[in-house]
Amino acid sequence: MSERKQFRAIRGTRDILPPDSALWNWFERTAREVFESFNFREIRTPIFEDTSLFARSVGEETDIVSKEMFTFPTGEASMTDVMEVVHENIEFQPIPGASQGKQASLSADEMTAAIKAASLVSLRPEATASVVRAYIERGMHALPGSQKLYYVGPMFRRERPQKGRYRQFYQIGAEVLGPSDAPAIDAEVIEMLLVLFNRVGLTRTTLYVNSIGCKECRPKYVELLRDELRKVRDRLGADSQRRIETNPLRVLDSKLPEEQEIIATLPRISDHLCDACRDHFAKLKDELNLRGIAYQENWRLVRGLDYYTRTTFEVTAEGLGSQNAVCGGGRYDGLVELLGGPPTKGIGFAIGTDRAILSIQESGNLPKLPGLDVFVAWMGTECYPAAVAIARKLRDAGFAVELPPEEMKFKKSLGLADKLGARYALILGEDEVASGTYTLKRLADAEQKKLTEGELPEQLRSG
Ligand code: AMP
């Protein structure tokens, strides 16, 4: 007996089915409308890019790059080729005292060379790197003013799946790239985000803001933080202990209850900003006040990606449990240069669509979305041509119409119309065809009217 495999969606991925997909479309459509009202325009970039693009921009030491990317070789190279390349680039050194076995040590440069030779690509874990790559490659810096771009689409991270955390998830993001780093840009980007959240009824949210300094003041603060962390090393968990050396700012992200008291005593970046950063942050807060935007300062908001400078922000929403961040963003003034472009300022954010939708669903504050308007209940094969014709006309007039492909008994037909949630059944039998009229039955209250073709659209629109 042959065993049949039951295929399932890959762990951490999921199907978005109707009617939820209508909610998703509405959310994305509203985002497009809001963003375009702020004069942002859509950019569509590929779903995979050179692995080294992400390594360089997001940062080698981040969780995203070091362990969460889906990476594969392209072109001629197979995985075996990649292993060979890695092999060729490794200098094998005997482990002192070990009788057998070899230790591979690969420097960052060697690894970069190996990856390059194998043409490794990764599914994008986020889209800012791609947008910046496109900005540089397509010479967008030569265009007038700032480039205000938005994107919509899936991202991929090999995270441990749980509620609100998936391996394929969706983001809607926006970026401003150009010559200016005026705090008004930061505030307008935040305003745009909150206008969207308001419009979709995502109102039980909190906005957190912080400044994490620039390349002048941050390194000094990071060193100070590292020194202080080394003093309390023994009282921290394994992850934080490792991060003292690799990325001390990330320790501030820790959610471990036993670390909270220690973290509260650490030096705060707000006390160590340079004059320019302090001024920028103060002006950002003025700009937010000017727009009537409520916020909370959170000195621990450092964000997990390497490229942020100065402004960082995050929005959390209710009803999501531990994964409650629905949007994260910040300024990344050095990123374009880091990726080989001209000096350029940048700021952006990414909304986690999965979580935003989840929060809207949990709130019960769902929009009324258009459904099926008309079910054409035709009877008798001689009526079928008229049914096809009226279905076409009503669809052209903008209504959603269901035309049964096979003849059905009248009762069954109306029963199905009801189950499908149609607003109206358009009854089309011998009498109607003979008199050139239609019987329109409103399913909510069974009110029935005989109408001519010309009268149908008005009645359908009226309710
Ligand atoms: P980040 O790109 O990490 O700043 O994330 C921006 C937003 O994307 C977060 O606030 C989340 O709402 C969402 N997000 C990030 N990772 C995931 C994931 N694995 N699953 C679902 N949403 C995510």
Question: Computed from CA positions of residues 94, 97, 100, 101, in that sequence, does the dihedral angle turn out positive or negative?
Answer: negative
For residue 345, the model assigns a pLDDT of: 97
Its domain, for residue 421, covers 374-462
**% of the chain exceeding 70 in pLDDT:** 90
Q: Could you report the per-residue pLDDT of 335-366, keeping only the tens digit for each?
A: 999 999 999 999 999 999 999 999 999 999 89
Closest C-alpha to ligand 1, atom 1: 328
Residue 388: pLDDT above 70? yes
Domain termination residue (choose one: 363, 392, 417): 363
- Note whether 326 and 393 are same-domain residues: no
- C-alpha radius of gyration, the chain, whole number: 29
Residues present in the chain in total: 463
CA distance readout (Å), 13 to 155, 163, 325, 350, 353: 11, 12, 19, 19, 14
Q: Domain check: are 201 and 56 in the same one? A: yes
Q: Is residue 305 part of a domain?
A: yes
Query: Final residue of a domain: which of 311, 334, 363?
Result: 363
6 is a domain residue? no
In a domain, 225, yes or no: yes
Q: What is residue 95's predicted lDDT score, i.e. its pLDDT?
A: 45
For residues 390 and 340, membership in a common domain is answered with no
Q: Is position 113 within any domain?
A: yes
User: Ligand 1 test: best mutation among 58, 155, 160, 312, most atoms within 8 Å of CB?
Assistant: 155
Q: Is residue 419 part of a domain?
A: yes
As for ligand 1, residues whose beta carbon falls within 6 Å of it are: 126, 157, 159, 164-166, 169, 171, 304, 325-328, 350, 352, 354-355
**How many CB atoms are located within 10 Å of the residue 175 CB?**
26
Per-residue model confidence as pLDDT tens digits over 325-334: 999 999 999 9
pLDDT of residue 246: 86
Query: Would residue 324 count as lying in a domain?
Result: yes
CATH assignment of the domain containing 271: 3.30.930.10
Give how many domains the chain has, as a whole number: 2
HSE, CB side, 13 Å, CA atoms: give it for residue 233.
9
Q: What is the pLDDT of the chain when averaged over all its residues?
A: 91
108: in domain: yes
Which residue would you say has higher pLDDT here, 303 or 315?
315
Q: Please write the tens of the pLDDT for every residue from 55-105.
A: 999 888 788 888 899 998 886 656 676 666 666 665 544 444 444 444 455
Distance 193 CA to ligand 1 centre (A): 15
Question: Does 396 lie in the same domain as 350?
Answer: no
Tell me which residue has its CA closest to atom 10 in ligand 1: 327
359 & 378 share domain: no
128 shares its domain with 175: yes
128 and 206 housed in the same domain: yes
Same domain for 379 and 349: no
Q: Based on the domain organization, do 355 and 390 belong to the same domain?
A: no
Three-state DSSP state, 264: helix
Strands (E) located in 107-167: 120-123, 147-156
Residue where a domain stops, chosen among 319, 340, 363: 363
- Ligand 1 probe mutation, 171, 202, 306, most atoms within 8 A of CB: 171
Residue 235 has pLDDT above 80, yes or no: yes
Instruction: Please tell me whether residues 202 and 309 are part of one structural domain.
Output: yes
Q: Which pLDDT belongs to residue 112?
A: 61
pLDDT at residue 288, as a whole number = 98
Residue 7 lies in a domain: no
Helix axes 20-37, 183-199, angle to 10 degrees: 150
CATH code of the domain containing 389: 3.40.50.800
**Spatial separation of the C-alpha atoms in residues 168 and 175, rounded to whole Å:** 22
Q: Which residue has the least CA distance to atom 18 on ligand 1?
A: 165
d(CA 315, CA 355): 11
* CA pair distance 308, 141, nearest whole angstrom: 20
Residues 359 and 451 in one domain: no
Is 170 in the same domain as 258? yes
